[in-house]
Amino acid sequence: MGKIYDALEKFNREKVKRPVADTPGRVADAPGRAVPEVSAEIEVAEEMGIVDAPGRNIEIESLPLADQYAAYGLDERLITVTDPQSLAAEQFKMLRSRILHPRNGSIPRTIMVASAMEEEGKSLIAANLAISIAQGIQEHVLLVDCDIRRPGQHLLFNVSGEHGLSDYLAHDAPLENLFIKTDISKLTLLPGGMPPPNPSELLSSEKMGRFIEEVKNRYHDRFVVFDTTPVQITAEVSVLAKSVDGILMVVRRGKIDRDIIKRSVSVLGRDKIIGVAFNGFTHFSREYEYYRSYKYRG
Per-residue model confidence as pLDDT tens digits over 174-226: 988 999 999 888 999 999 999 999 999 999 999 999 999 888 877 677 899 99
Domain endpoint, select from 50, 72, 94: 72
- Summarize the confidence of residues 225-239 as an average pLDDT: 90
- Summarize the confidence of residues 96-121 as an average pLDDT: 87
Domain coverage including residue 23: 3-72
Q: Evaluate if residue 31 carries a pLDDT over 90.
A: no
Q: What percent of the chain has pLDDT over 90?
A: 36
Are residues 64 and 24 both part of a single domain?
Answer: yes
Q: Evaluate if residue 101 carries a pLDDT over 80.
A: yes
What's the confidence (pLDDT) of residue 226? 97
d(CA 51, CA 58) in angstroms, rounded, equals 5
Contacts of 120 (CB under 8 A, 6+ apart): 230, 250, 251, 252, 255, 256, 279
What's the confidence (pLDDT) of residue 70? 53
Q: Is 226 within 8 Å of 192 (Cβ atoms)?
A: no
Are residues 213 and 255 both part of a single domain?
Answer: yes
Contacts of 65 (CB under 8 A, 6+ apart): 82, 83
What's the confidence (pLDDT) of residue 220? 73
140-145 and 222-227 beta bridge pairing: parallel
Are residues 120 and 167 both part of a single domain?
Answer: yes
pLDDT digits (tens, 9 = 90+) for 33-69: 444 333 343 343 333 333 333 334 456 556 665 566 5
Q: Omega into 54 within 30° of 0, i.e. cis? A: yes
Are residues 95 and 187 both part of a single domain?
Answer: yes
Domain endpoint, select from 72, 105, 133: 72
- Summarize the confidence of residues 84-105 as an average pLDDT: 88
d(CA 202, CA 45) in angstroms, rounded, equals 45
Are residues 59 and 101 both part of a single domain?
Answer: no
Are residues 194 and 273 both part of a single domain?
Answer: yes
Helix (H) / strand (E) containing 87: helix 87-100
Q: How many domains does the chain have?
A: 2
Q: Is 142 within 8 Å of 212 (Cβ atoms)?
A: no
What's the confidence (pLDDT) of residue 84? 85
Residue 294 counted as domain residue: no
Q: Evaluate if residue 152 carries a pLDDT over 90.
A: yes
What's the confidence (pLDDT) of residue 59? 62
The band of 105, judged by pLDDT with boundaries at 50, 70 and 90, is: confident
d(CA 59, CA 50) in angstroms, rounded, equals 7
Q: Evaluate if residue 25 carries a pLDDT over 60.
A: no
Q: What percent of the chain has pLDDT over 70?
A: 69
Are residues 19 and 119 both part of a single domain?
Answer: no
What CATH number is associated with residue 123? 3.40.50.300
273-279 and 246-252 beta bridge pairing: parallel
Are residues 61 and 104 both part of a single domain?
Answer: no
Full-model pTM = 0.76
